[in-house]
Amino acid sequence: MYCKYCGNKLDDNALFCSNCGKKIEGREADEKPVEDTEKNENSVTEHKGEDETMSVQNQEEELSEEILEEVYKGIAGDAAPEETGKKKWLLPVIIGIVILLIVGIVAIAGGGDKDDAPGTEPVAEEDDSNYMEAYMEYVSADVSDYPTVRLYYRIIDPMNSETISDLKPKMFTVRECVQGGAYVEREIKQAQKLDNSEGLSITLAVDKSGSIGTNDMDKIKTVMNEFVGSLQYEVGDQTEILSFDTIVRQMCTYTSDVTLLRNGISNMYPEGQTAFYDAVMTGIIHAANQKGAGCVVAFTDGYDNQSIHTYDQVVAKAVEYGVPVYIIGVGYDVEESELRYIAETSGGKYWYIDDLYDLSEIYTSVYEQEKDLYVIEYESDASIDKYATRTVEVTFKGEGYKGSCIGEFTPNTVTDPTAYNHSGKYEIFAEDVSWEEASARCIEKGGHLATITSQSEMDTVVKLAEAKGYKYLWLGGYTSYDYYGNVFGHWITGEEFSYQAWGNGEPSRVDLDGTEEYYIMLWYIPSLGGWNWNDQRNSTVDAGFHQGKIAYVCEWE
């Protein structure tokens, strides 16, 4: 026990301090103030009902008490009162030393973030073992708005194979390495699922070869009409309709106009052979030309007997452009191993069905899977070529999951609509090319082969042709047979074919030598009445006609 006036150590039964002579008023009152503080704090702890270790502050006070006692004892020892009195001048020094020690202890114990609130414990670093490893797969990239880069990923819960929901931008990090350079962390602008936020481009490729019966064709049309009416066009979804028989036809170019899509669907009638691989190849290229994510969904009832392309070429193109291909086979004549290989290698899926009405469920399943893709949007370096090969590392952690994916990609360069500055709605190009080549040229320029749906449009195109001296021009249309063998025209945009300017005896659908004529040409033949339409074979130049005279008309919406 110590005197509260001078700090002298007291004998157990003393009534007066042997150093200063002050009366000891009571033993409880004479306890060290530091111990009182300890008792008060302990009582607060008990009042809160907490059974925990003594606080850092209490430990510091207890330690300071021990230091004070030991230091004082070390100096005063058991000296007589008169000797102790001689050392009174040491007390302030001792107290100063103790205070400095206490300050040091507090600084050490409270070390860490200066922004931490007083009395709070430092937050422990999160344990990654609490997060489930997710399946993360790169699908494709889009640099159409460069230096903004969009990456598309599947992020799946491995336990239930469902897409993980509610991942936020702050949960992701992106590091980019361009052509073997150093990795640089990039700013993430957005991270979200496509569903209800961003558009999807879907090519529906449909078998309408002669093996498809009338009833089956009607079932296919019913399913397709329902499907195209169910998409999220308000956020940018768009669809293209391709049909294939002996040739591949654009029944409707990419659009969000359901009326045009349904018009294209209604004009499909069975005929001819099966150019399945050519149709899928065309769909892949067209989907890759669109902004954002895209896919091809193809249906066939038999083996391919007409295509120029092979299934290996189709797979290579799908992988190169990052376009998943989903394939549905029906009937016993499908080449299942090849179809499954195309689908699974490209990141899609293969189904075999017995009932064509099952197409409805599959279309919906594919659409939901694609809309579940996550788009990770980040800002790259504008000074770097946007088509440069990149290696990108994307990681995330949140919602109880973590994942990472490192992948290399070279952005698709099939089409850059901004690269060609067209002079107006229509433009004519002179080149000895086939109809299919002319169509591809217009798509590469961000447009399509022109359609003529009124007299005013006819007059405009004719005036442009006459100004340049062109007389044989490809237009964006086909001819087909209906169920009754009648020949009719169809525009690639799905527009109504109500305005017509056929020459005498046209469309014939077959040339004089027996060659099928599928494609519409605008030509000037004075003996046939001047400017009018004719259906033609794919390449008149290859047949020895019109060398050096062919042109094509591109149109931009």
**Could you report the per-residue pLDDT of 406-430, keeping only the tens digit for each?**
999 998 766 565 667 888 899 999 9
Q: How far apart are CA 439 and CA 553, in angstroms?
A: 9
Architecture, CATH, for domain 417-555: Roll (3.10)
Q: pLDDT value at position 422? A: 82
Model confidence at 147, in pLDDT bands (50, 70, 90)? very high
Q: How far apart are CA 82 and CA 18, in angstroms?
A: 9
Question: Cis peptide leading into 147, omega within 30 of 0?
Answer: yes
Q: Are 85 and 111 in contact (CB under 8 A)?
A: no
Q: pLDDT value at position 415? A: 59
Is the pLDDT score of 34 beyond 80? no
Q: pLDDT value at position 423? A: 82
Q: pLDDT value at position 1? A: 60
CATH 2.60.40 intervals, the chain: 130-194+380-409
Model confidence at 180, in pLDDT bands (50, 70, 90)? confident
CA distance from start to end of the chain = 98
Q: pLDDT value at position 412? A: 79
Q: pLDDT value at position 44? A: 37
Listed ranges 12-26, 34-48, 323-337; the one with the highest mean pLDDT? 323-337
Q: How far apart are CA 555 and CA 557, in angstroms?
A: 7
- Give the pLDDT mean for 6-34: 57
- Give the pLDDT mean for 356-361: 96
Model confidence at 332, in pLDDT bands (50, 70, 90)? confident
CATH 3.10.100.10 intervals, the chain: 417-555
Q: pLDDT value at position 117? A: 42
Partner residues linked to 373 by β-bridges: none
Q: What is the mean pLDDT of the chain?
A: 85
Stretch among 14-18, 22-26, 333-337, 549-553 having the lowest mean pLDDT: 22-26
Stretch among 36-40, 286-290, 326-330, 502-506 having the lowest mean pLDDT: 36-40
Is the pLDDT score of 241 beyond 70? yes
- Give the pLDDT mean for 12-33: 56
Is the pLDDT score of 493 beyond 70? yes
CATH number of 201-371: 3.40.50.410
Q: pLDDT value at position 339? A: 97
Is the pLDDT score of 233 beyond 80? yes
- At residue 326, what is the residue type? Y
Is the pLDDT score of 88 beyond 90? no
Is the pLDDT score of 74 beyond 80? no
- Give the pLDDT mean for 120-132: 67
Q: pLDDT value at position 95? A: 59
Model confidence at 232, in pLDDT bands (50, 70, 90)? very high
Q: pLDDT value at position 127? A: 73
Q: How far apart are CA 255 and CA 52, in angstroms?
A: 68
Is the pLDDT score of 46 beyond 50? no
Q: pLDDT value at position 129? A: 84
Read off the DSSP letter of residue 9. Answer: B
Question: Which comes out higher in pLDDT, residue 391 or 119?
Answer: 391
Question: Cis peptide leading into 411, omega within 30 of 0?
Answer: no
One CATH from 3.20.20, 2.60.40, 3.40.30, 1.10.3470 for 130-194+380-409: 2.60.40
Is the pLDDT score of 75 beyond 90? no
Give Cα separations from 67 to 37, 61, 70 (angstroms). Answer: 16, 10, 5
Q: pLDDT value at position 491? A: 98
Q: pLDDT value at position 18? A: 64
Stretch among 30-34, 269-273, 471-475 having the lowest mean pLDDT: 30-34
Give Cα separations from 190 to 56, 201, 233, 398 (angstroms). Answer: 44, 20, 21, 15
Please give the share of the chain, as a percent, with pLDDT higher than 70. Answer: 76
CATH 3.40.50.410 intervals, the chain: 201-371
